[in-house]
């Protein structure tokens, strides 16, 4: 059974992440929000420090370990609090600092989670240390990743990739891109595989960088693939198309990344709540946890409601990560966490802007920035509507063909 207290072994990691968020990310947050597409050089030193800590084993493996479906449940009795739980807790703290800067961290791309989830042991070793972006979204395809049209055609010992990917986070800065493509469109979802395409590969080019509402510190690219040849060994996992397994390989990636995105929303919302509580206190509005909500000022009552929403998203996120660590199927829980946290993040940050009045709307504080940053967390890695659809399928026991 899950224990809702923070595990002792990850508390030092959380404290370190909070110090980084407060002393390194917050001070440069506004700078890189205004200087969109300017690379945050301060992150290179931070990345080197994190690499050193990881190599020493002091973090307990706080990188996204991935939900490996081919692994058997642990023989050891009892619960395991492992890399997935450590990752979401540290991500929460880092996003208390700045979401866009976290997404800009070298070697911490969403593509790294895809590699961790799907790659075989040889690939895990070969791609260790790479900074991988993840290219899923395509123009005109919508939120259902199963409809992607980018193709990968086998030609000898290589695959030839053709297609266009949009909104690729860290698409220009990353060392490599994990691109999703179909081996055979007629075989449907089962034929969708992911490939590691390394930077500088002929046929892959960054077409442009997007100007965005939020997470402006993070570069977001449009990438074209035109007769881009990659080694067959760069296809992550098995090249076999198993129609019975269907979309399982891709879903294993999402089962890993969605709790991380939920954690980003939880961290950003927590930052808004902490600052708003301070602003309300300065205005003479105290939030009293010992009084019934109806006996408190309207602003305090609203704040308590927002905290309750935050708490539920936080707990769902921990549950989905804990299940991954304990090799329990977590697809439903990952989508529940992503849906709840994404919606909560947008609601909480914008209501905090409202509660803070002119301070919330001005650039004197970071509240307006957090309101802008949080919206993407309800959209990428699967929109709110897609998450609800996935949860409904899991609850009702229906397939994607039966419930669209």
Residue 182, CA distances (Å) to 186, 210, 233 in order: 9, 25, 16
The answer to whether residue 381 is catalytic is: yes
Residue 136, CA distances (Å) to 36, 42, 66, 144 in order: 23, 29, 18, 10
Task: Return phi, psi of residue 235, to 5°.
Answer: -75, 120
d(CA 64, CA 289): 36
Buried b (16+ CB within 10 A) or exposed e, 24-39: bbbebbeebbeebeee
d(CA 24, CA 13): 16
Element of type H or E holding 195? strand 192-198
d(CA 145, CA 138): 9
d(CA 81, CA 86): 8
Torsion region of 240: left, alpha or beta (phi above 0 gives left; psi -120 to 50 gives alpha): beta
Give the SS3 label for residue 231: strand
Q: Which of 93, 365, 368, 381 is catalytic?
A: 381
Name the residues annotated as catalytic.
381
């Amino acid at each position: 059974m899950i224990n809702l207290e923070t595990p002792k072994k990850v508390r030092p990691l959380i404290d370190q992440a909070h110090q980084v968020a407060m002393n390194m990310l917050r001070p440069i947050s506004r700078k890189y929000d205004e200087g969109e597409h300017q690379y945050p050089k301060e992150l290179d030193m931070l990345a080197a420090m994190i690499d050193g800590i990881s190599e020493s084993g002091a973090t307990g493996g706080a990188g996204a370990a991935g939900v490996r479906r081919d692994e058997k449940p642990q023989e050891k009795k009892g619960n395991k609090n492992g890399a997935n739980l450590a990752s979401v807790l540290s991500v929460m703290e880092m996003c208390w600092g700045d979401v866009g800067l976290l997404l800009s961290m070298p070697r911490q791309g969403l593509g790294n989670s895809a590699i961790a989830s799907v790659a075989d042991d040889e690939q895990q070793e070969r791609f260790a240390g790479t900074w991988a972006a993840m290219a899923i979204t395509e123009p005109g395809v919508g939120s259902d990743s199963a409809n992607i049209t980018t193709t990968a055609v086998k030609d000898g010992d290589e695959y030839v990739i053709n297609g266009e990917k949009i909104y690729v986070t860290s698409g220009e800065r990353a060392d490599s891109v994990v691109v999703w493509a179909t081996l055979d469109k007629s075989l449907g979802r089962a034929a969708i595989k992911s490939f590691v395409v390394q930077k500088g590969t002929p046929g892959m080019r960054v077409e442009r960088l997007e100007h965005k509402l939020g997470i402006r510190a993070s570069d977001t690219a449009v990438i074209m693939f035109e007769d881009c040849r990659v080694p067959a060994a760069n296809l992550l996992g098995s090249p076999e198309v198993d129609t019975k397994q269907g979309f399982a390989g891709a879903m294993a990636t999402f089962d890993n990344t969605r709790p991380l995105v939920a954690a980003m929303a939880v961290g950003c919302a927590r930052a808004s709540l902490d600052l708003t509580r301070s602003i309300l206190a300065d205005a003479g509005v105290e939030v009293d946890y010992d009084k019934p909500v109806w006996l408190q000022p309207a602003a305090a009552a609203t704040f308590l409601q927002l905290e309750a929403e935050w708490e539920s998203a936080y707990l769902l996120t921990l549950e989905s990560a804990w299940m991954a660590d304990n090799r329990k199927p977590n697809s439903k829980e990952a989508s529940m966490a992503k849906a709840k946290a994404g919606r909560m993040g947008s609601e909480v940050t914008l209501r905090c802007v409202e509660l803070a009045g002119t301070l919330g709307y001005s650039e004197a504080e970071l509240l307006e920035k957090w309101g802008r940053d949080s919206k993407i967390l309800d959209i990428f890695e699967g929109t709110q509507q897609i998450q609800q659809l996935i949860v409904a399928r899991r609850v009702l026991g229906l397939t994607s063909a039966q419930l669209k």
